[in-house]
Structure 1
Amino acid sequence: MTTARTRRAVLGAVGAGLTGGCLQSEQRSQTLTMGVIPDVDPDTAIEQNTELAAYLEFELDVSVDLRTTTDYAGLVQAMTAEQVDLGYFGGVSYILAHDRANAKPIVVGSKSGTTDWHSVFIAHESTTVTSMDDLKRSADSLDLAFGDPLSTSGTVMPTYYLRRRHDLFPDRAFKSLTHVGAHDAVVETVAGGNSDVGALNARIYDRLVETRSVDETVTEVWQTPGFADYPWAVNGSLNEGTVSGIRDAFASLDEKGKDAILDQQNVDKYVATDHEDFEELGDAVRMMELLNDDDG
C-alpha cells in the first residue's frame, strides 16, 4: 500500500495551473490524477471528494492526486492534455471531453432509484414569480443567474427548456443574464437580491434546503424533466485493467457500507454507464453550439 498523498490543488488553465506535466505511462500504475469540476466552491469540491480519493487509494493500491479546476472548461482541457486520469464531469463537459479526448464514462450516481438529474428554477420573493408562466410574462424585467457556462444543470439544460418549452432565449429575453459559477453561488446571488431568478442543480438545491442554507426569501419555481448528468469518466489512454478496477471500486461503495462517502457524493450508490446514456444531451449541446467552441 502506497502512502496516501492526496493533494488539494486548484488548477488553472492547462500548462499554467497544473504542476509536473503529463503523467508518464509507467507512472499511471502508481499515481492516479483525479479531477473534479467546481460545481460548488473549489474548497468544498475538494472536501466532498477527499474521503473518496482515500478510498480509491486503498482499493486500487495507488496514490491519488486530487485536484479541481477554476471552471468546467479547465477539466475538459486537463483531460484533453492527458493531465487527468479520472474526472468528475457534468454531462455537457463530459461530452466535450469525449469529443476532444475520447474520455469514457464508467459510473454515474443513483439516488432514490434513479440516475436522472434535474435543474430547478428559483426566484426571489420580491419578484412574485411562482410559476414558469409568471417567469415568461415578466422575463424582460428580470435579472437571471446561471452557473458555469458549461454546467449541464446550471446553464445548458435550463437554456434548453426555456427555449424549447417557453420560446425564451435567455440572452435576449431577460433584462440581464449573469454566469456566477457554482450552483451554491446561484442561490446566494438570488438570495442576496443581486438576481431575480436563477437555475441550478436540483439535488444541490434540495441539499441546501435540507441543511437550511437557503434564505427564506428564495422560492422554488419549477424543476425540469430528468436528464443524464455527472459521470465519472476516465482518460481514453488508461488500460482496461485499471478502468475495470476503478469501476469496481465505485460500484462496491454501497456494498462496503461507505455511506459517508456516498452521502458526500449525494448518491445512494454508483452504477455502470456508457456513452450511449448521454446521447440525449447531444441535442442540447448542438443547440448551444458548444462542440464548436474552442474554449470548451
Structure 2
Amino acid sequence: MKLIRALLSCCAAGAVAFAALGASAARADDLSFGIISTDSSAVLKQRWQPFIDDLNRQTGLHVNAFFATDYSGIIEAMRFNKVQIGYFGNASAMEAVDRSNGEVFAKVLYANGDTGYKSVLITNVNSRVKTLDDVFKNPKDLTLGWGDPNSTSGSLVPGYYLFAQRNLPVNATTFKTVLPSSHEANLLAVVNNKVDIATNNTMELATLARKHPDRFKEVRVLWTSPLIPSDPLVMRKDLPEATKQKLRDFFYHYAKTDPREKKIMADITGYAGFAPSSDEQLLPIRQIALFQQKQKIAADTHLSDDDRKSQIAAIDAKIGALNAPAKP
C-alpha cells in the first residue's frame, strides 16, 4: 500500500512538473505586438486585429496586440520585455533599437507602389492660412497641431526639414499654442477648423480620402517633405531564433497572393504587405536627429564656449561615423 501511495505521489509530482513545463512552453510562445498610437486604440484594434488573428493561426504563436496612448509607451514596453514585436515609425524604431534591445527585421510595402511616405503640413481649406509664407509671417498668431515627440512624420521630419531650415524652433514661444497629439486627432482638428495648422502624413490623408472623401475636401496641404522610408517592424534581439524565424516567414510572405490577406493589409493603411529590412534603414533618421541636437547645442546660451565646442565635436564625430562607408 505504501508503495502504491509512493508511486501515486511520484506520478502526481511528475504530472505537476509536466504541467508546469507545458505552461512554461506556452508562455515562451506568448508575445505582445506593440502598435504605435497613430490613431485611437479602438480604430487601431479594428484595423489590426484581423492581421493579428492570421499571425496567430499561421505561426502557432499566441500574439496579443498592445496599444499605448503615446509612442513612448510602446518603446518602454519593449524595453521591459512587455512587448516583443512592434510596428513603429522610423523615429520611434530608432529609440526601440537604441533603448529597448530591438532590431529592425521588416518594413511595410504600399499598395500604390511607393517605397515610403511623406510628412505634410496641413490646414483647413477655409483657414486664413493660404500658403506656407502665411505660416512664417506671424507664427506667434497660430495654433499648431504637433505630432508625438517620437513621431517621424509628426515631429522629427517637419521639425528638421520645415522649421529648422528656417531657424524656427517649435515651442510655446514661437507659436501661439503647440498641441502635441496623434495623427488622427490632428487631422480631425484641421477638418473641424480647431487648429490653424497641423503636421500629418500622406498615409493618413490617403486613408481619409478613401474613407471620407467629403472630409478630405476640407484639407489643404501647405508643405510636403522628402520621402520617408516606409514604417519598420522591430523585434527584440533576445527572442528565440525559432520564434524569430516564424515571424520572418509570416511577415515576408503575408498578403503576397491571397486576396483576403491583401484586403486586410489595405484596410490597415493602404499597405500591401512587408519586405525584409534592417537597422540600416534608420540611417537618414539618425542623421536628422543628430543635426537637430547640434542646432540645439549651438543655440544653448547656458553652455560655455568650451562645452559647446566639445559637445558639437562629439556630435560631428557621430555624424562622420554614420557617413563613413561600411567596411568590407
Q: TM-score, normalised by structure 2?
A: 0.75
Structure ID, larger Rg: 2
Aligned match of 1:219: 220
Structure 1 position 241, deviation (Å): 2.5
CA offsets, 1:140-168, max 9 Å, x none? 32111012221111111111112343332
Instruction: After superposing the two structures, state which structure 1 stretch, 41-50 or 27-36, moved more.
Output: 27-36
1-structure distance, mates of 2:126, 2:24: 57
Aligned match of 1:5: none
2:283 matched to 1:279?
yes
Two-structure CA RMSD over aligned residues (Å):
2.0
CA offsets, 1:228-273, max 9 Å, x none? 2421110111122221221221121232411122112321221111
Query: Post-superposition, which runs of at least 4 consecutive aligned residues in structure 1 deviate over 4 A?
Result: 24-29
Aligned match of 1:253: 254
Aligned match of 2:96: 97
2:214 matched to 1:209?
no
Aligned match of 1:117: 117
2-structure distance, mates of 1:162, 1:175: 18
Aligned match of 2:40: 41
Aligned match of 1:61: 60
Partner letter of residue 174 of structure 1?
F
Q: TM-score, normalised by structure 1?
A: 0.83
Percent of residue pairs identical: 25
Instruction: After superposing the two structures, state which structure 1 stretch, 93-102 or 239-248, moved more.
Output: 239-248
The 3 A distance-change label for structure 1 pair 93 and 27 is farther
1-structure distance, mates of 2:24, 2:136: 53
Whether the aligned pair in 1 keeps the contact of 2:32 and 2:84 (CA below 8 Å) is: yes
2-structure distance, mates of 1:255, 1:94: 25
Whether the aligned pair in 2 keeps the contact of 1:119 and 1:157 (CA below 8 Å) is: yes
2-structure distance, mates of 1:64, 1:267: 21
Give the secondary structure class of the aligned counterpart of 2:288. helix
The 3 A distance-change label for structure 1 pair 288 and 47 is farther
Give the secondary structure class of the aligned counterpart of 2:193. coil
Whether the aligned pair in 2 keeps the contact of 1:29 and 1:62 (CA below 8 Å) is: no
Structure 1 position 74, deviation (Å): 0.5
Give the secondary structure class of the aligned counterpart of 2:280. helix
Give the secondary structure class of the aligned counterpart of 1:270. strand
Extract unaligned runs of 5+ from structure 1: 1-23, 290-296
1-structure distance, mates of 2:100, 2:148: 21
Correspondence 1:164-183 to 2 at 5 A: 164-171=164-171, 172-180=173-181, 182-183=182-183
Whether the aligned pair in 2 keeps the contact of 1:108 and 1:115 (CA below 8 Å) is: no
2-structure distance, mates of 1:288, 1:88: 25
2-structure distance, mates of 1:86, 1:135: 39
2:6 matched to 1:31?
no
Instruction: After superposing the two structures, state which structure 1 stretch, 76-85 or 58-67, moved more.
Output: 58-67
The 3 A distance-change label for structure 1 pair 28 and 274 is farther
2-structure distance, mates of 1:85, 1:252: 20
2-structure distance, mates of 1:160, 1:187: 21
Structure 1 position 277, deviation (Å): 0.8
Partner letter of residue 141 of structure 2?
S
2-structure distance, mates of 1:158, 1:98: 22
Partner letter of residue 57 of structure 1?
N
Give the secondary structure class of the aligned counterpart of 2:139. helix
Instruction: After superposing the two structures, state which structure 1 stretch, 85-94 or 122-131, moved more.
Output: 122-131
